[in-house]
Amino acid sequence: MNKFTLAPIALAIALTGCGVSNTSTTSEVKSTVEQVQQLAATNPFSKKWGTPHEIPNFEVIKTSHYLPAFTAAIAQQKQEINSIVTNSAEPTFANTIEAIEFSGNLLDKVAGVFYNLTGAETNDDLKAIAKEVSPLLSAHSDDISLNSDLFKRIEVVYKQKENLDLTIAQQKLLEDTYVGFVRSGAKLDEAQKEKIRDLNTQLAALTLQFGDNLLAETNSFEVVIDDKTKLAGLSESVIAAAAQTAIERGHAGKWVFTTHRPSITPFLTYAKDRELRKQLYLGYTNRANNDNKFDNKKTLAKIASLRATKAQLMGYKSHAHFVLEDRVAKTPTAVYELLNKIWPAALAKAKVEVSDMQKLVDEQGGNFKIAAWDYPFYAEQIRKARYDIDEEQTRPYFALESTLKGVFDTANKLFGITVKERTDLPTYHDDVRTFEIYEADGTYIGLFLADHYVRPGKRGGAWMNSYRKQYNMNGEDVTPIIVNVLNYPRPTATQPALLTFDQASTLFHEFGHGLHGLLSDGKYRSQTGTSVPRDFVEFPSQVMENWMLQPEVLATFAKHYKTGEVIPQELVDKIQAASQFNQGFATTEYMAATLLDLNWHSLEDDKIRDTATFEKESLEQLGLISEIDPRYRSTYFAHIFSGGYSAGYYSYIWSDVFGSDAFAAFQENGLFDRKTADAFRKNILSSGGSDDALKLYRQFRGKDASIEPLLRSRGLIK
């Protein structure tokens, strides 16, 4: 994911609702009216888009529209909250809790477009606006959660909860609203509230700066090669893509490799030139760690310090304790217990893998010890020798277009949904494709946007997000607009976009998130789609990945892009046999990053740490071997320092426990068993955060999730 939410500040607003610190004055109300009226006259955000399915009209939105739209939207929501606070009627669920929930539609509309674009199609102007808007949104969010008069009304309703005739979703909304305000500082004294405001403002600016620095470093680094002999080992498709990148970067006639995944991954896996592998690898692992204006070491250390300060102000030992209280895991101890069940087996397997690779190096006459930049290269050689397979054998069978069809067909067999592409809808970039999603009976569900190709204005990785979530307000059903953003290599002049098996699997993964948003069926925006605990949100997407490996699924779409030949069963068997290969490395590098995250966010004081020293000591305590780096080093660990995963990167493996156990249900009952699929849709995909996550899982599975399917799927136990 994640990929898969708005920027943290905008997300906080969407989830908690916004307010003012006190009731508005007459002049403030007049100012609000004037701002909204002015917006209506000049700004496309002020009215309905007038497009099919109310998709944002990207063709008329200008950069100059965002700041006034944000300003007016904030002012409008302040007035909406003021109406709640000044309501002379006794506080009720409807006039207080639901009223907060339903406030801020304009702000949600503006933020939904803006923050999607700052991730997928940013530029210097949008970055400048983000920096200007960030403190405004931070202050606005604080004006809600620290509003004493507003909280008093919430508290009155909350104390009556046992006597109110509420649905399960309403009970959850009441509980989440009350707890959310308390966790935001509603019960603090005025001095403490001012401190919280200051901390939030600083954190908003720092996390934004971290992301900007990382994007700049990722886009700027390149390895330019002018001697084709140095490309030995690389496939023609990879070489062609590098030539195209060279043209785009002003090095026509040469070959350019970057730290973007579609470029660096095949190079590290197949390039025979060890020095160039080292150069590119170090370029990747030293991003934002070069003591220049984009260096993130001091920025992230300050973020960790401020988070620790804020947590202790709220009465918690550490940021991790604060964050995890609101998750399925509940405590850092529970997370460490899970990780400690997996780490020893993963590290032991990784050491065996390294030993096997070192033997290969020695047999080939290499006079060196395996280093981190050698790992992918020699692991691939062993995989090819052991399973007689390499990625280049499979790539021709995973053209993007056919793989996308495979994803859609799988969803159709599971849930009965159908897909219709539209080519007449406005988009924010020519790369973007739009699809209407329908039920089997023809009922319209929502709109799905797919943005597949790597480009400079897009941050790295893959994620799902929503331009508009599904919800119901005043009897009106609002349909979702969901987007998947990825970073695949573009088609070349001679061939379509061809995916590695892992990239194809990611397509399934992200559409699993997409289904979570599209098949949502709830009333309240703060509960629909992926609005579930962070350590539960990856679970639906991880389940979806499992269908990629099934022979009957592969046979429907994995076809050679030239001949149309279905992927041979022999090759499928090899893929399955190799699926557990190198899982020691994959699990260990992930776990190392997870534990690094927990260490940064388990700090119990506000001392500013030296980033390099802190990271080195953390990894040494784990016993991490030198041949493996954590999946993310601190300076480019965007998930935790500019995303929403602080003290939460463990969520992927925690969710994978649910994902592996859930797929076991399909294995037991049939891969496309409709009863199982319907139960999964009803209790997981459609329910979102309308009830307790563990309760919903038990309703689907009939039991708690077991860790054994996860360990078996990774080959860590027999």
Residue 399: closest CA among 509, 496, 501: 496
Q: Amino acid identity of 285?
A: T
Supply the pLDDT for residue 31: 57
Residue 20 pLDDT class (50, 70, 90 cuts): very low
Mean pLDDT of 396-420: 97
CB count, 10 Å around CB of 50?
9
**CATH code, residues 396-578:** 1.10.1370.40
Given a contact cutoff of 8 angstroms between Cβ atoms, the answer to whether 316 and 647 are in contact is no
Taking the model in full, what pTM does it have? 0.84
Supply the pLDDT for residue 152: 97
* CATH class, range 8-187: mainly alpha
Lowest-confidence segment of 31-40, 506-515, 553-562, 687-696 by average pLDDT: 31-40
Supply the pLDDT for residue 126: 95
Residue 593 pLDDT class (50, 70, 90 cuts): very high
Whether 4 shows a pLDDT value over 60: the answer reads no
Backbone angles phi, psi at 453, to 5 degrees: -100, 150
Whole-number average pLDDT of the chain = 91
Structure tokens at 709: 């399917």
The DSSP bridge partners found for residue 485 are 451, 463
Q: Is 510 a catalytic residue?
A: yes
Mean pLDDT of 401-416: 98
Long-range contacts of 491-494 (CB under 8 A, 24+ apart): 492/237, 492/240, 492/241, 492/244, 493/240, 494/240
Residue 598 sits at the vertex; the CA angle it makes with 597 and 603, to the nearest 5 degrees, is 110
CB count, 10 Å around CB of 30?
11
- For residue 482, the 8-state DSSP code is E
Residue 352 pLDDT class (50, 70, 90 cuts): very high
Mean pLDDT of 535-545: 93
Lowest-confidence segment of 35-39, 337-341, 422-426, 501-505 by average pLDDT: 35-39
- How many whole angstroms separate alpha carbon 35 and alpha carbon 79? 12
Q: Which 3 state secondary structure label does DSSP give 483?
A: strand
Longest distance between any two alpha carbons in the chain, whole Å: 85
Supply the pLDDT for residue 19: 28
Query: Tens digit of pLDDT for each residue in 104-119?
Result: 999 999 999 999 999 9
Query: Tens digit of pLDDT for each residue in 121-140?
Result: 999 999 999 999 999 999 99
For residue 433, give the H/E element and its range: strand 433-438
Residue 442 pLDDT class (50, 70, 90 cuts): very high
Residue 680: closest CA among 703, 667, 662, 706: 662
- How many whole angstroms separate alpha carbon 407 and alpha carbon 509? 9
Supply the pLDDT for residue 40: 60
Q: What is the CA radius of gyration of the chain?
A: 25
In the block, residue with structure tokens 């990774």: 714
- How many whole angstroms separate alpha carbon 254 and alpha carbon 269? 21
Supply the pLDDT for residue 37: 62
Tell me the domain boundaries of the chain: 8-187, 221-285, 396-578
Lowest-confidence segment of 219-223, 385-389, 632-636, 702-706 by average pLDDT: 385-389
CB count, 10 Å around CB of 586?
18
- How many whole angstroms separate alpha carbon 386 and alpha carbon 408? 33
Residue 102 Cα distances to 12, 76, 94, 226, 688, angstroms: 14, 13, 10, 59, 18
Residue 658 Cα distances to 166, 470, 652, 662, 663, angstroms: 29, 24, 10, 6, 9
DSSP symbols for 436-466: EEE-TTS-EEEEEEEEEE--TTS-SS-EEEE
Domains 8-187 and 396-578 share a fold: yes
Per annotation, catalytic residue among 121, 217, 391, 510:
510
Query: Tens digit of pLDDT for each residue in 626-668?
Result: 999 999 999 999 999 998 899 999 999 999 999 999 999 999 9
Whether 380 shows a pLDDT value over 60: the answer reads yes
- How many whole angstroms separate alpha carbon 437 and alpha carbon 454? 25
Whether 587 shows a pLDDT value over 60: the answer reads yes
Supply the pLDDT for residue 6: 30
Given a contact cutoff of 8 angstroms between Cβ atoms, the answer to whether 348 and 584 are in contact is yes
Supply the pLDDT for residue 36: 58
Residue 504: closest CA among 565, 462, 456, 458: 462
Backbone angles phi, psi at 415, to 5 degrees: -120, 0
Residue 461: closest CA among 611, 600, 643, 619: 643
Residue 343: closest CA among 596, 172, 687: 596
Backbone angles phi, psi at 466, to 5 degrees: -130, 135
Query: Tens digit of pLDDT for each residue in 283-295?
Result: 999 999 999 999 9
